[in-house]
Amino acid sequence: MAKAFKYGLKGITGFLEPAERDLLRSLIDDVISMLQPEDREGQDPLAALIGLDMDVAEPTDRAVRRLLPNVARDDGAASLEFRQLTERSLRETKIGALRAAALDLDKDEIVLTPEGARHWSMALNDVRLVLAERLDIRDEADAEHVHRMQDWSQAEDVESYLALVYNFATWLQESLVQAMLQSMESRR
Amino acid sequence: MTISVAPGPDTQEGVRTGTAESTDSLTAPDIPWNLVIWNDPVNLMSYVSYVFQSYFGYSESKANKLMMEVHKKGRSIVASGSKEQVERHAVAMHGFGLWATVEKASGGPGGNSGKSGGPGQGKGKRG
């Protein structure tokens, strides 16, 4: 059984069982694969190097669109221009955090530096955003409905299983963020 | 946003003696662009507050006040500045997974300007 993250003398620590680590690793891998930019034929290598992507388009997958949202609410052209300049590096930032968290999953006991904790909180957040899209969480009532699924013996279909996984990731992220807030408080 | 679900310890709300980073320069009335954070049912209230504190350097009370504004009103202007500044903030917010947009400030100074409110706002309860 996982132990909540806590802040103490060693920094921020947590503990996960092997099955929980496998689960998180596969969730993280899924999100990484969604964020991996495609290598397009004929793309200008210099533009790619500095993060420009003139062929970028608004993602069609809802979950990817939530990870990489439009920057202007009612201005598609401005949002697209912004994507050309920033989306590639945003994808790389997110993949970097997800990979860092995945590397920490090699041991039962997780000991995090402030930087590592930040990567973990970002990675868990992106995992939850993707799960929430798959679970069709659109408002607080949907979230509350999903949150009621707490008993693994209730897992009888894909949706209830996903809901339990989402709740596990939520619990883990909440305990991590509370530990991070305590750590910030103590450094002030 | 969603509320805390961890059965973690109650947060310690000690008296802070340090000075919060001044953000007055970000909210000068003549600055034309705003960074808006939108509510969503997934992001944890504690996480949103953490992002506001760690990224913008806002005090806990200011971060919680803005977080509650996002939660209750559906959106909040959390920073203002030049177009380049707020766009840079927006990418950082997207990196954290927050739903951020930029918009031209309208209606001049005042209103929902993201300025720090009175002391004690949003304190005492997190998530």
Domain residue spans of chain B: 33-104
- Residue B104 to residues A38, B31, B78, Cα–Cα distance (Å): 33, 9, 14
| pLDDT grade for B115, boundaries at 50, 70 and 90 | very low
| pLDDT grade for B122, boundaries at 50, 70 and 90 | very low
- Enumerate residues 97 to 126 of chain B having a beta carbon within 8 A of any beta carbon in chain A: 97, 99-103, 126
Helix (H) or strand (E) holding A112: strand A109-112
Return the residue matching tokens 């699924």.
Answer: A149
Residue type, A149: M
Return the residue matching tokens 């969480």.
Answer: A137
Q: What is the mean pLDDT of residues A33-38?
A: 88
Q: Which of B5, B14, B36 sits opposite A171 (nearest CB)?
A: B5
Contact between B12 and A182 using a beta-carbon 8 Å cutoff? yes
Give the lowest-confidence range in A48-57, A68-77, B67-76, B103-112. Answer: B103-112
Cβ(B33)–Cβ(B86) below 8 Å? yes
| pLDDT grade for A40, boundaries at 50, 70 and 90 | low
pLDDT at B17: 43
pLDDT value at B118 more than 80: no
Residue A180 — φ and ψ, nearest 5°?
A: -65, -40
Q: What is the mean pLDDT of residues A8-20?
A: 94
User: How does pLDDT run across A105-154, given as a tens digit for each residue?
Assistant: 998 899 999 999 999 999 999 999 999 999 999 999 999 999 988 888 87
**Three-state secondary structure call for residue B80:** strand
Q: Which of A70, A73, A147 sits opposite B5 (nearest CB)?
A: A147
pLDDT at B15: 41
Confirm or reject contact between A84 and chain B (CB < 8 A).
Answer: no
Q: Which of B6, B11, B42 sits opposite A175 (nearest CB)?
A: B6
Q: Is the ipTM of this complex over 0.85?
A: yes
Chain CA centroid to CA A68, Å: 12
CA nearest A187 in B: which residue? Answer: B18
pLDDT above 90: percentage of residues in chain A: 77
pLDDT value at B26 more than 90: no
pLDDT value at A25 more than 80: yes
Q: Measured between CA atoms, how close is B25 to chain A, in angstroms?
A: 22
Confirm or reject contact between A73 and chain B (CB < 8 A).
Answer: yes
Contact between A67 and B97 using a beta-carbon 8 Å cutoff? yes
pLDDT at B20: 47
Q: What is the mean pLDDT of residues B7-28?
A: 46
Question: Higher confidence at residue B76 or residue A148?
Answer: B76
**Three-state secondary structure call for residue B76:** strand
Report the residue of B43, B47, B67 to disrupt the A interface, i.e. the one with the largest count of A CBs within 10 Å: B47
Q: Which of A94, A137, A171 sits opposite B95 (nearest CB)?
A: A94
pLDDT at A39: 66
Q: What is the mean pLDDT of residues A66-85?
A: 95
pLDDT at A59: 93
Give the lowest-confidence range in A65-69, A106-110, B33-37. Answer: A106-110
Cβ(B100)–Cβ(A66) below 8 Å? no
Confirm or reject contact between A183 and chain B (CB < 8 A).
Answer: no
Q: What is the CATH number of domain B33-104?
A: 3.30.1390.10
CA nearest B44 in A: which residue? Answer: A174
pLDDT value at B112 more than 80: no
Contact between A90 and B47 using a beta-carbon 8 Å cutoff? no
Confirm or reject contact between B8 and chain A (CB < 8 A).
Answer: yes
Q: Of B38, B39, B58, B54, nearest to B103 (Cα)? A: B38
**CA distance linking residue B45 with residue A151, whole number of Å:** 24
| pLDDT grade for B92, boundaries at 50, 70 and 90 | very high
Task: Indicate if the alpha-carbon torsion angle B51, B53, B54, B55 is positive or negative.
Answer: positive
